[in-house]
Amino acid sequence: MAQREGQRLERGIGLFQATATNMSQMMGAGPFITIPIILQEMGGPQAVFGWMTGAILAALDGLVWSELGSAMPGEGGTYVYLREAFQYRSGKLMPFLFIWSTIIVTPLIMSTGAIGLTQYLGYFFPHMTGLESKLVAVFITIMTIALLWRRIHSVAKLTTVLWIGVILTVVMVIIAASTHFNAHVAFSFPPNAFAPSKFLLGLGSGMLLSIYDYLGYYTASYLGDEVSNPGKTIPRAILMAILFVAMIDLSMNIGIIGNIPWQTAMKSTDIGTQLVQSVWGRPGAIIITVLIIWTCFASVYAGLLGASRLPYNAARDGLFFKSFAKLHPKLNFPHVSLLVMGVIMAICCFFNLTTIINALMAMAIVIQFMGQIVALTVLRKRQPNLKRPFRQWLYPIPSILAFIGWAYVFYSSGWSAIRLAMIWTALGIIAFLIWAYRKKEWPFGKKVIQEVYATPSAESGE
């Protein structure tokens, strides 16, 4: 092992902190920057169906994460699930490809939070140039790394504080929206809004953006070795976070377009501020802008926390650079992984927001989300005696529906994003073959099967 003998991660995250971590990641910049984009893509308030289908897909996929996370509560989440399920056929190819894609995808996700934060800073600094806003996003990244440079107990406490600010933000927005809500404004559908060809094409784009808003319901799964009683805590944290955020997001999104005509809302760059200012004037706008900035930062903080554990676990298994497997000698967290992911995130802050969202979704869907669904089915057959504190309800119906939903979103991401995903995956396969040849791993060596969580000594999470 790369860390000192006897050194291991600490289980300091309980149910409340795990749920807060998931919700903080989910409720960051997403709704405040994607509402105008979804309205543009779907051409009117029928965008509500994009938000609803995104919530349904998140709930179906959450049942996949819940079973896998409870049965295999290891640091790295998806990496562990793919490693355990696909080792029988393709050795370490799938977990390698996941880490390969994660090195780009996860910092892309985090960078959207930092970019969204700078958009709302524009309310206080309206003359800030494009370059200056990107540099501010980089500064936010550096500050996030600094605040994560501590023991997990302190991180969990800070996550809870940030989560409280997140809840205060959305409550304020919902109250402001409800006091002047106008159903006629909210549901003023344009002519031919539900024409099948137009609606279905827009729905795919709307789902892509709305599911982006829900990303993060699984963040606690990345911290499996640091979660107390993970077999019960992880599924509860996932499902509770999805339920609460779905209720909050739908209320907030519908409330906003019930105050601001969708023709105006679709052109806004600070929709949350615009709503509150129209209801409570400039004092209210100042307060909500500060709270939205707080919410965006909470998302970046929770996301980078989870992301930093992925290369760490892969390196600990010998599937990535050895330096990533090191834990800080005093504070006991994967500091090298945190620094590298933070640097990549800072670079991603210089990209266009819409391009980032489309690219990251296309790159993440096939290997991670669709791959995990296959992994759950494989493990049901290959390891029937694996201890599963949580089993997917109505299996395999949620898995099938989630797989179809992800395929639809992937198709809707656009050819340029799909092409980028294909190129990056092809490069990952080449990199894997080079790595496997040097390590004498499959397909250039013997395939080693290790059912880590099926052994009697494995922690079941109960």
DSSP tally for the chain: helices H, then strands E: 18, 0
Measure the CA angle with vertex 92, ends 389 and 58; round to 5°. Answer: 45
Beta strands in 330-400 (DSSP E): none
- Cα 419 to Cα 16, 105, 228, 424: the distances in Å are 40, 15, 41, 9
In a domain, 2, yes or no: no
Residue 461 domain-assigned (yes or no): no
Alpha helices in 2-46 (DSSP H): 15-26, 30-42
Q: Which residue has the tokens 């003998």?
A: 5
Domain for residue 162, yes or no?
yes
pLDDT in tens, the chain (462 residues): 344 444 566 777 899 989 988 887 787 667 788 888 899 989 999 999 998 999 999 999 999 999 999 999 987 789 899 999 999 999 999 999 998 888 888 788 788 888 888 988 988 999 899 899 999 999 999 999 998 888 767 777 777 887 888 889 888 999 999 988 999 999 999 998 899 888 988 888 888 888 888 988 998 898 888 899 999 999 999 999 999 999 988 898 899 999 999 999 998 888 999 999 999 999 999 999 998 888 888 878 877 887 787 788 788 878 877 888 888 888 888 889 889 889 989 998 888 767 777 777 788 899 999 999 999 999 999 999 999 999 999 999 999 999 999 999 898 888 888 988 899 899 999 989 998 998 899 999 988 899 989 855 444 444
If you write DSSP's letter for every residue of 372-383 in order, what string do you get? Answer: HHHHHHHHHHH-
For the full predicted model, state whether its pTM sits above 0.85.
Answer: no
pLDDT value of position 2: 40
132 assigned to some structural domain: yes
d(CA 81, CA 372): 7
In a domain, 7, yes or no: no
Phi, psi of 13 (to 5 degrees): -110, 115
DSSP 102: H
* Cβ contact 103:367 at 8 Å: no
Residue 322, in any domain of the structure? yes
Distance of CA 420 to the CA centre of its chain: 20
Q: How far apart are CA 350 and CA 101, in angstroms?
A: 19
pLDDT of residue 8: 61
Tokens 């808003």 correspond to 213
Torsion (CA) 132, 134, 140, 143 in degrees, nearest 10: -80
Residue 8 covered by a domain: no
CA distances from 183 to 31, 180, 259, 315 (A): 20, 10, 9, 54
User: Residue 276: which domain range?
Assistant: 15-454
Kindly state whether residue 5 falls inside one of the protein's structural domains.
no
Number of domains comprising the chain: 1
Q: How far is CA 88 from the centre of its chain?
A: 28
CATH number of the CATH domain containing 284:
1.20.1740.10
Collapsing DSSP to helix, strand or coil, 391 comes out as coil
pLDDT for residue 164: 87
Give 55-73 as a DSSP string: HHHHHHHHHHHHHHHHH--
Cβ proximity of 435 and 96 under 8 Å: yes
The pLDDT of residue 455 is 58
Residue 75, beta-bridge partner list: 223
The residue to which tokens 């799909």 are assigned: 418
HEC string for 164-190: HHHHHHHHHHHHHHHHCCCHHHHCCCC
Distance CA 198, CA 203 (A): 9
Q: How many CA atoms lie within 13 A of 286 on its CB side?
A: 4
Q: Distance between CA 447 and CA 443 in Å, rounded?
A: 8
pLDDT at 197: 81
Cis peptide leading into 389, omega within 30 of 0?
no
CB contact at 8 A, 402 and 61: yes
pLDDT at 29: 67
